[in-house]
Amino acid sequence: MAVDIVLPIIGIVFFIFRLWLSTFKLKDELQFRRFYVSRLVNYFFCFSIIFNFKNPVFNVILAVCFPAMVFTSMWDFNFYRHFKGRTYWKKNKTWLLLERMTMHPPILIGGLYIYLTGIWNYVPPGDLVVFAIGILFVYPSSYFLDVRLRKRYEWPNGRDLLLVMLFSTVAFSMYYIFY
């Protein structure tokens, strides 16, 4: 089918674009924020697309992180509200806006899609190895790379994000195990 070819191409292009944008183009503007959880989950989401939503490990990551991304996307409102007043971003304002618009919304759309079309079509229930691998991908990388978690930078935000992620993981795992 055409989707089997088109979706991976979109995923590869989106991954390369996000990697280039966050890591190279906006390196000075984002600084350590390049490794925030949302940006890491965005990369995992790209891999989910590349594999046509057929790789259960990346789908577990998307399913578990979806509620956290709903929560963190609320921070986007503050970003957009204060965007014009941030003079230190004048150099790459358009790129920063594009970076933000391609961070949470695609994950939210993808997560909503897999939940609305039947999560078990994308994450086989009861396969704890797949679940564990997905969790082992996302938690250590988030902890070691996101300074909000590792060094308690902007700690109320980091703490809240961690709590939402943990709650989401526990809730999904209970549903996953007992389904």
Q: What angle do CA 64, 70, 74 make, to 5 degrees?
A: 150
Residue ranges making up the domain that contains 6 = 2-178
Burial class (CB in 10 A: 0-12, 13-18, 19+), 81: exposed
User: What local confidence, expressed as pLDDT, does residue 34 receive?
Assistant: 75
Question: Which tens digits make up the pLDDT trace of 11-52?
Answer: 999 999 999 999 999 888 877 777 777 888 899 999 999 999
Question: Which tens digits make up the pLDDT trace of 79-136?
Answer: 788 777 776 667 788 898 899 899 889 999 999 999 899 888 898 877 778 878 887 8
**Taking Cα atoms as reference points, which of 39, 94, 31 lies closest to residue 72?**
39
Structural domains in the chain (count): 1
